[in-house]
C-alpha cells in the first residue's frame, strides 16, 4: 500500500501533466501536448506492472518514475531549449528507468544484469536518437511542427553519454535500490 505522501505526489504529477497539456494547447504546441499525454499514460505503468508481474513498487519508485514523465513533458514547454542541463538530466533519468527495468528482469531470470543494462540502454539510446532525427526531419520536410527535436551531432553524442551515465548508475546501485523488484517467490 502506498503512503499518502506518495499517493498525493503521484496525483500532483498527473495534474501537472494535464496542466502541460493545457499550456501546450494554449500555445498550439502539438509536441508538448502529445508528449504530455504519453507521459500521463506512462504514469499508470507501475500499477500495470504490479498486476502483471507480481511485483510491488515502493512508493518512492513510483514517484521517481512519474517524475521522469513530468520533467520530460515540462521540457517540451521550453526548458529543453532554455536550460542547458535539462536534456542531460532527462536522459540520465530515463536511462535509469530503462536500466532499472532491465536490471530487475535480468535478476528475476537469474541472469547477470550489468552487461545487459549497458547494452539495452545503449541500444535504446541509439534507436531513440535515430527516431528523434527521423521525426524531426520528416516534420520539417512536410512543414509540420516536430513532436521531437534533433539538435545536431554534439547534442546526440551528449544524449548518449548521459544515457550511459544512467546505465552505470543502475549497474552500481541496482542491487541496493531494486531488490524489491528482483526477488521471486521461488
The pLDDT, as a whole number, for residue 148 is: 79
The pLDDT, as a whole number, for residue 178 is: 95
Kindly report the average pLDDT of the chain as a whole number: 93
The pLDDT, as a whole number, for residue 146 is: 80
The pLDDT, as a whole number, for residue 186 is: 52
Percent of the chain with pLDDT over 90: 81
Dist. CA 94–CA 124, nearest whole Å: 11
Report residue 102's pLDDT band, with 50, 70 and 90 as the boundaries.
very high
Report residue 2's pLDDT band, with 50, 70 and 90 as the boundaries.
low
33-72: pLDDT as tens digits: 999 999 999 999 999 989 998 889 999 999 999 999 999 9
Q: Is the pLDDT of residue 3 over 70?
A: no
CB-CB contact of 2 with 62 (8 Å): yes
Report residue 182's pLDDT band, with 50, 70 and 90 as the boundaries.
confident
CB-CB contact of 18 with 69 (8 Å): no
Residue entry with cell 532525427: 133
C-alpha cell at 39: 507521459
Top pLDDT among 3 and 35 is at 35
| Stretch 2-14: mean pLDDT | 87
The pLDDT, as a whole number, for residue 53 is: 84
CB-CB contact of 133 with 61 (8 Å): no
R_g of the chain, CA atoms, integer Å: 17
75-89: pLDDT as tens digits: 999 999 999 999 999
CB-CB contact of 80 with 35 (8 Å): no
Amino acid at each position: 500500500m502506498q503512503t499518502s505522501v506518495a499517493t498525493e505526489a503521484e496525483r500532483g504529477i498527473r495534474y501537472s501533466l494535464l496542466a502541460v497539456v493545457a499550456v501546450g494547447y494554449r500555445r498550439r504546441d502539438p509536441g508538448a501536448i502529445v508528449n504530455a499525454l504519453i507521459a500521463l499514460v506512462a504514469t499508470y505503468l507501475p500499477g500495470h506492472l504490479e498486476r502483471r508481474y507480481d511485483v510491488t513498487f515502493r512508493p518512492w519508485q513510483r514517484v521517481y518514475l512519474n517524475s521522469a514523465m513530468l520533467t520530460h513533458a515540462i521540457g517540451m514547454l521550453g526548458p529543453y531549449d532554455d536550460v542547458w542541463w535539462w536534456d542531460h538530466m532527462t536522459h540520465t533519468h530515463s536511462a535509469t528507468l530503462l536500466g532499472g527495468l532491465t536490471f530487475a528482469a535480468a535478476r528475476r531470470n537469474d541472469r547477470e544484469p550489468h552487461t545487459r543494462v549497458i547494452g539495452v540502454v545503449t541500444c535504446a539510446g541509439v534507436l531513440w536518437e535515430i527516431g528523434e532525427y527521423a521525426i524531426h526531419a520528416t516534420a520539417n520536410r512536410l512543414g509540420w511542427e516536430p513532436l521531437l527535436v534533433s539538435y545536431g551531432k554534439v547534442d546526440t553524442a551528449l544524449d548518449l553519454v548521459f544515457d550511459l551515465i544512467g546505465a552505470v548508475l543502475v549497474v552500481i546501485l541496482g542491487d541496493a535500490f531494486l531488490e524489491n523488484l528482483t526477488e521471486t517467490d521461488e
